[in-house]
Structure 1
Amino acid sequence: MTIETSRPRPARRLASWLGLTPFALYVLIFLAIPTLLAVLSGLFDAQGHVTTANIAALFAPDILKTFVSSFWVSALTAIVGAIVGALVCYALLGTKPQGTLRSMVDSAASVLAQFGGVMLAFAFIATIGIQGVVTAFLTGLGINIFANGVWLYQVPGLLLPYIYFQVPLMIITFMPALEGLKPQWAEANATLGGTRLTYWVRIAGPVLAPSFLGSLLLLFANAFSSYATAAALISQGAQIVPLQIRAALISETVLGRSNMAGALALGMIVIMVVLMWGYSALQARTTRWQQ
């Protein structure tokens, strides 16, 4: 005897689509339309004529320098954040999933991953700035590590604040992958005479690699698109791409061209699309063994 599954009625199907209307409107109004306007603005000059001069200006030395600065800051903070976050996740495996320590770490990671902007910049200025608490304390001990606090207001000064929110983000994104490791795999490895090193190199490592690389791409994209913290710390100059876009918006021309902000936004969007595509592909591969 076969049981036929009835298809949803048109009214029910219409109701399910209508349930997505608020989210679709949000994406359209606050994401799709601003992105489209930003990109299209870079294809027109001051007189409204179509031009590719702004796109060609992306390869100018000053613009390329900002992209290089954004790349190395994002890459370094993503690698450090991924390694430190993965080690924290590994340490948490030995705790109870519903225990107090795990709950505290999860809660702290959720909050700190969103802690950025002016608040984070002020926290670092008040801590390790020229007149920061830690700076004054160490200077009193004869340790002048942070005495020259000017570095905090340059591109290298973004490293510590970025790592501050990169590590919690890694904990949030990578912990589910570690929890998805099945105990049967470790038992099978031990039964066959494998060591702990064998388990991590030949079993857990290859299984976790897509998730780790996906989280690494997510951290890179998070740092690459961060603006508020950098804008609060670096008030002079435009050393990274988001700050270069700010400079293009508040000034009439950049490199002698109008609407340069749209071209810069297009460059960032292309990079972000590639990163998110890679992240989605890696996440899809990770879900194969998690199911």
Structure 2
Amino acid sequence: MSTVHDSRPTPSAARTRRGRGGLATIPLFAFIGFAFGLPLVAIGYAALQVKDPDTLATSFGIANLTASLQGPYRNALQSSIELSAIVAFLGVVFGTLLAYAVVASGSRRLREPVLTASGVLANFGGVPLAFTWVATLGNAGMITDLFNLTDHGWSLYSFTGLTMAYLYFAIPLMVITIVPALDGLRPQWREAAQNNGASTWQFWRHVGIPVLMPSLLGGGVLLFGAAFAAHATAAAMLGTGSTVPLITLKIAAALGGDVMVGQENVAFAMSLDMILVVALVMAIYLPLQRRSARWLA
């Protein structure tokens, strides 16, 4: 007679494996706590410290948090959210269309240069990006002078101009984010839909878009965060006459004391506001991502 051996692990062995798996995650959680937890605690602590302007004595309160949501600070926060949302939406739309055109072409000669350029341009920000736009479309820029855009009401140092500058790195970032998801769309799905009489629109509505939704949402959150936290590009353009209020510029001005003296703790409160906005966006994104990921199961 042959003996059948049960290859399933015993309960004690399973517990041992889970314990070892838990120990393996300790360095990861330690890094997360050091890199993200400590700065968050420090920002929250500084945001709750209120300094008396007369005695310079400090106490704990919510005066800084209240001030960060009023007047010009509130306007800057709203403007940053609006700018980031528009950049994220346009970046997702145009980046996805560009990525789909590259993937659908099936040409490696087109795919490789586009992905390489996207990887470079996605990290091309800050002062060099601002200088490029100022030299091209600023008040004395080459294109501005060539087509006399100033007389037609064009201004780079506006909400529209800043949106265009941010899209310069947002669209390439979306391209490299969504291409792997587009590669995952199986040709058999389209063939099956066509064999069952589905139109192209019906395929994308019921199959393509739901499958891509987790990647689209993730790309949108990534673009929102990149635009929301961007500082150097806007700061460089501000020096040339930009009047767009942004929360990052307000924080830099408060910390530097160049414009607003004694507002350092308000700057920490504004930083805490930014963290809360990003946390809220992630809280909305994660349930949608889990729901849409069922298509990939």
TM-score of the two chains, using structure 1 as the length reference: 0.84
Say if 1:214 and 1:282, in contact at 8 Å, map to a contact too.
no
In 2: Cα distance, 1:103 partner to 1:33 partner: 41
Say if 1:254 and 1:260, in contact at 8 Å, map to a contact too.
no
Match of 1:290? Answer: 296
Matched, 1:49 2:59: yes
Cα gap change, 1:122 to 1:25, in 2 (>3 Å): farther
Cα distance per residue 1:137-173 (max 9 Å; x no partner):
x1xxxx2125689933344431111010110111122
Say if 1:128 and 1:149, in contact at 8 Å, map to a contact too.
no
* Displacement after TM superposition at 1:33 (Å): 2.0
Cα distance per residue 1:99-124 (max 9 Å; x no partner):
23212211211111111001111111
**1:151 match: secondary structure:** coil
Match of 2:69? Answer: 59
* Displacement after TM superposition at 1:234 (Å): 1.0
Match of 2:231? Answer: 227
Amino acid at match of 1:52: I
Amino acid at match of 2:74: L
**1:93 match: secondary structure:** helix
Cα distance per residue 1:174-230 (max 9 Å; x no partner):
222222222222122111111212211222223333432332232122211111111
Q: Which one of the candidate residues 256, 279, 282 is aligned to 1:276? A: 282
Cα distance per residue 1:256-282 (max 9 Å; x no partner):
855101110111000011222333444
Matched, 1:13 2:20: yes
Say if 1:135 and 1:147, in contact at 8 Å, map to a contact too.
no
Say if 1:41 and 1:262, in contact at 8 Å, map to a contact too.
yes
Structure 1 or 2, whichever has the larger Rg, is 2
Match of 2:212? Answer: 208
In 1: Cα distance, 2:65 partner to 2:91 partner: 33
* Displacement after TM superposition at 1:15 (Å): 11
**1:194 match: secondary structure:** coil
* Displacement after TM superposition at 1:7 (Å): 5.2
Match of 1:79? Answer: 89
Cα gap change, 1:206 to 1:7, in 2 (>3 Å): closer
Amino acid at match of 1:78: A
* Displacement after TM superposition at 1:4 (Å): 3.3
Match of 2:135? Answer: 126
Amino acid at match of 1:108: A
In 2: Cα distance, 1:125 partner to 1:289 partner: 45
Match of 2:106? Answer: 96
Cα gap change, 1:200 to 1:9, in 2 (>3 Å): closer
In 1: Cα distance, 2:183 partner to 2:23 partner: 33
Structure 1: stretches of 5+ with no match in the other structure: none
Matched, 1:37 2:42: yes
Structure 2: stretches of 5+ with no match in the other structure: 52-56
Number of aligned residue pairs: 282
User: For 1:110-259, what aligned pairs fall within 5 Å after superposition?
Assistant: 110-136=119-145, 138=146, 143-146=147-150, 151-235=155-239, 239-251=245-257, 254=260, 259=265
Between 209-218 and 238-247, report the one with greater CA deviation.
209-218
- Percent identical pairs in the alignment equals 35
Cα gap change, 1:277 to 1:114, in 2 (>3 Å): farther
Matched, 1:264 2:270: yes
TM-score of the two chains, using structure 2 as the length reference: 0.82
